[in-house]
Amino acid sequence: MDYDKWLQRFTTRVERFVFRFTLIVVVLLFLVQAVLMNDHLRPYLSYTDQFEGRALQEDLQKVIAGKVEQGKSQGLEEPAVLLELIPPPGEKPPDLTLFVNGKPYAPLGEERLYLPVSAGDLLEVAGHVYGSKPAIVRIAETHGNLQAPTKGSEIFTFGEKELVAWIIP
């Protein structure tokens, strides 16, 4: 038996098989990706899309909303926060905007900003701070029965989008 010829035939067959297998896998990959672009078929092929649009923590939101409604029925003060901006000393006043749940709410300036809030609201700040010193955004006061944020909480920012507070009744 000539092992050189046998090895040559064997490697040629294996090489052909590996090439064809790889080609089939690549074609299948493109086909699956094309099928996943179809909105009607995607929920059947992807587990994550089956849960899209459904709140996974719906019960938690109901509990928080229930506590807020109880507080209102007992005549407690409406939940709100008072924010103040402390610009860096000796620098040009920063150009910062307050975002509530990802949407622009109001610019922060020299005046304190009174903000009525709801359970679960996310307060973020973004914009531009001039110079090399950060600006400070502080919770000057809280109204209503809020567990978070607390009075005096503050963040230091250079203008990147940063979380100021998450409202927890």
The residue extents of the domains of the chain are 3-50, 58-166
pLDDT at 75: 46
Whether the CB-CB separation of 162 and 102 falls below 8 Å is answered with: no
Does 117 score more than 60 pLDDT? yes
pLDDT at 42: 80
Whole-prediction pTM value?
A: 0.54
Q: Which of 121, 124, 112 is nearest to 144 (CA)?
A: 121
What tens digit of pLDDT does each residue of 23-79 get?
999 999 999 899 888 888 887 777 776 666 655 555 554 555 555 454 444 445 788
Give the tokens for residue 128.
């531009």
Mean pLDDT of 2-17: 93
Question: How big is the chain, counted in residues?
Answer: 169
Chain-centre distance for alpha carbon 129: 23
How far is Cα 149 from Cα 142, in angstroms, rounded to an integer? Answer: 8
Q: How high is the mean pLDDT of the chain?
A: 83
pLDDT confidence band for 2 (50 / 70 / 90) = confident
